[in-house]
Amino acid sequence: MANNNDSLIPIVEKLCTVSTIGLFLTGVQICNRIYRMRSTGDISGFPFVATLVNCTLWLLYGYSANNSTIIIVNFIGSSLQMIYALVYLQYTSDRTTYIRSLGAAVLFLAAVSFYFQYVVPDRNVAVFRAGLVASIATVIMFGSPLASLREVIQKQSTEALSFPLCFANLIVPIEWVLYGILINDKFVQVPNFLGAILGLIQVSLFFKYPRQSGLIPKATNLGGI
């Protein structure tokens, strides 16, 4: 059984890496829309900041746990989110508020990085606390689309949701749950299991409330492990 797990791990690692980065790249479409409009319009910049925080916390966890897959995925993720946030900042009409949000996120991440790097003396304790913080952040981020889901249920319409993105938000967490099981990492398993449940709920709404027109959907979130 151990040999089977060992042979599966590299395959699942590659699946998780490719699919998660692909999910992160959905932000390119949003930024392209902002660039074409020369305005952020009704697009919220919060998902960029939230995903930046989430990816960086997982990057810290990957570094603490010495997991190269988590490090690579979330280094790319945090880099992309910072680029997206800067694009959003360029075109938003409320730069002061967004700068404050982005600055607060960067200061928070700097404080957390300093804490794990210099304050926590024991590596095992650092791994546990970094995993706990990253898991909580992921649960919060996965919970952010709940407002959109409430809107969908109230209007009995899925026009505000993107089916490909919602489907990806189901598949990607499932892959990470499998990876967490293979490497016996509860911090990877638990938040992504909750994310998979939310993704299943999102997808099921498309069957309950079929779309009837071609409106441009809103992004629910930009992914994360």
**Separation CA 58–CA 70 (nearest Å):** 7
Residue type for 165, please? L
How many CB atoms neighbour CB 22 within 10 A? 12
Q: What percent of the chain has pLDDT over 90?
A: 60
- Supply the pTM of this predicted model: 0.87
The model's pLDDT over 10-42, given as tens digits with 9 standing for 90+, comes to: 999 999 999 999 999 999 999 999 999 999 888
Query: Strand, coil or helix: what is 66?
Result: coil
**Separation CA 16–CA 181 (nearest Å):** 13
Of 45, 184, 71, 74, the C-alpha closest to 138 is 74
194 phi-psi bin (left φ>0, alpha ψ -120 to 50, beta other): alpha
Contact status, residue 54 vs residue 224, Cβ threshold 8 Å: yes
Residue type for 216, please? I
Phi, then psi, of 127 in degrees rounded to 5: -60, -45
Is 80 exceeded by the pLDDT of residue 82?
yes
pLDDT given for residue 147 in this prediction: 65
Contact status, residue 150 vs residue 201, Cβ threshold 8 Å: no
Give every CB contact of residue 25 below 8 A, 6+ residues apart in sequence.
Answer: 80
pLDDT given for residue 145 in this prediction: 65
pLDDT given for residue 157 in this prediction: 77
Q: Which long-range contacts does 37-44 make (Cβ < 8 Å, 24+ apart)? A: 37/91, 38/91, 39/91, 39/93, 40/88, 40/91, 40/92, 40/93, 43/88, 43/218
**Separation CA 138–CA 151 (nearest Å):** 22
The model's pLDDT over 159-208, given as tens digits with 9 standing for 90+, comes to: 767 788 888 889 999 999 999 999 999 999 999 999 999 889 888 888 88
> How do the domains of the chain map onto residue ranges?
2-208
- DSSP state, residue 218: P
Q: What's the rounded mean pLDDT across residues 134-162?
A: 78
